[in-house]
Structure 1
Amino acid sequence: MLPVSEARATRSTSSAKPARRRPALAGAGKALSTAVAALAMVLGAGVVGVVGAPAAAAAPISNPSLEIEVKCPGAVAEIQVEWLGTRSARVHWSLEDTAADQKSPVLKYAARNAPGDGTSWIFQNGQPWMAVDGGRGDTASGGGTTWDPEGITQFNHLEVKVSNGTSDQDPTPCSETKRIYNYGMIAYQYALNQEGDEYQSENLEDGIGPDEWDCSGLLWFTYQNVPNFPSWTRMSSANQYTWAVEKAADNHTDLSNLTSQDVIKVDPSDRKVGDIVFYNGHVSFYAGDGRAFSALNEASGVGYNPVNWAPIRGDGSYYRIVGVR
């Protein structure tokens, strides 16, 4: 599915970086009077790019699943991802030239399945890349439309590559690649596949299927089976809570130190389907519409129940298991 609209590159009117979750081109100024030089062999493909008149910037995602920067010296992209399920997402991007080196920052991203096959996002220029003019402090932003990429049955991760410079500007431009994983929605779908199974009281040697589960065993099993999720230790729900709290507390403010198996703390107002919610002696997936999904007890088995059936542990926060590598 191609994007409906993208913002063209424009010159920044301020040296200050836009606030997170605010339009990357808020108040963007005059149209550029020059075109980007011919771009050759960008990200492994020969391309030519032309910067046109400015257009209205696509609004950032107000509540993304994850927002990170991907950058190398002279170029920085801010990427917002909202996972909509196991094979669709919304992605909002912004790209900024941060050096007066006359090199053109370039952005490319693609939807990937577990082995790494997939399809590239096509920008408004009709190409699988976007560039801004080098040495001018220019910015561009866009995206935000629903993306249901063709050719993959499971949207396992988003691969983002940022480069500063092209082969005609520098034989070895800097580049940085990040992969943002869709762990939560895939694990949640695996949990839903167990709906109607029986409950097995918590025992670290049992409670892990194939058709009987305890709450922590269901959580462990579903994530353990997500492709590219690093193996993790079978823990009680109490220890899973401790693990999540400690992982989230270690995050940098800009989430620049996220690892391939990490956690972010989520305010209840920002909770999303697939987030993890902890109670005293219990753990559930958040299922949306005020519901939770878990292996609750012998009477309920594996299924839905109100998310507020008991006090949420700690300060009432939810936790999102994420991965960036």
Structure 2
Amino acid sequence: MRLLPRYRRAARALTAVTLAGVLGASGAAPYISTLPIAAYADTQSELDAARAQLSEIGAEYQALQEKLQQAGAELEETASQIESTQQELDQAQKLLSQNVSDDYKQGNVSLIDILLSSTDFTDLISRVFYAGKVNDAQTEAIDQVKELQTQLEEQQAQQQANLEATQAQVDEQAANQARASALVASLSAELQAELEAEAAQNENLASGIQSAEDASNGASNVPVAGNGSTDNAGGTVSGGGSTGGGSSNNSNNTNNSGGGTQGGGSTPAPSPTPEPDPAPPTNSGGSATVSSPISYALAMAGQPYVSAGESLAEGGFDCSGLVYYAYRQIGITLPRSSGSQYTYFKNNAGRFTTNKNELQYGDVVFFPGHVAFYVGNGQVFGATRPGQVAGYGNINWYGTFLGGGQL
């Protein structure tokens, strides 16, 4: 007997229900219809969890980057103050030593002023060594040296405190990178690719992935170091002279205590001969030019950030130290800090602009507390911050653009 269409449909439905009941009664699982759905649900759940975790890590990473950028600027400012004070101290000590020497030769010495100006018995003995009188001008000079030495010691103590605070932040960054790296490594290549694609629209996620990638550069494992010392090289005042000879402890001494080789830094290597400059990136703001200093800077890619570092012998560079190094290779000695370099370029550059659109390849570019080289397409190259290696970054990452140019 033939069934009408609606009855045929009913019969098929009844057969399906009966089959399902039989399968259910026999304990057989509906394999084809449920397993793919479960697998998809597990994958989606893993993706959602990874996205949330990486985004949280990324937000933390961004905050750490901002703190470390500021810490780098503070370290450089303190190093610059130490250098300036040390130079003043050296000059004051030399002048005082010369004055005392002249007075001693001329016999212009009186013991009363030595007695009145001595701070303790040891100081008195060292002053009496010069056997005589110190005029008012020399007393003032001695006080100036003492004041400068005290100021220098305070600056060096501040630098040490800054270094310790920065080290804590770098350690925190290293832990962040380790978490991000472990999370990414636990994902399949398919999930990693999907997160990479989503990162273009999710800033925190992109930062989380960047943190995982930065874990491999090893910069956060290099101890933060500076070249200041609480035991300054200026010595103590001895009857208007200096037992330390006024030797400089400033950052222009490449054999200072800031060497990154101690405590896990990289092994010093001879200065490399730079490779030819890469083709300058196109820039809508003007024609690109090739500058020799930038080739020396680019050859330092991957070197750790070292506070007050300005050579490979020190294990790395800070931002102004890399610019200082690059220009020194072509025979130009720049001021040492980013602030003084900014003033120097502003006054002496053959071309200096405050318009980002007018920047050219190889320009030295300045921001509050930071300096780098412009490489085109809105990108800069330099020693960025503690816990990072020398490399590339977006020009908008470093705050207010102050200007840039070339000598």
Task: State the TM bucket, normalised to the shorter chain.
Answer: 0.3 to 0.5
Q: Larger Rg: 1 or 2?
A: 2
Structure number with the higher helix fraction is: 2
| RCO higher in structure (CA 8 A, sep ≥6) | 2
TM-score, normalised relative to structure 1 = 0.34
Which has more strand, going by share of residues?
1
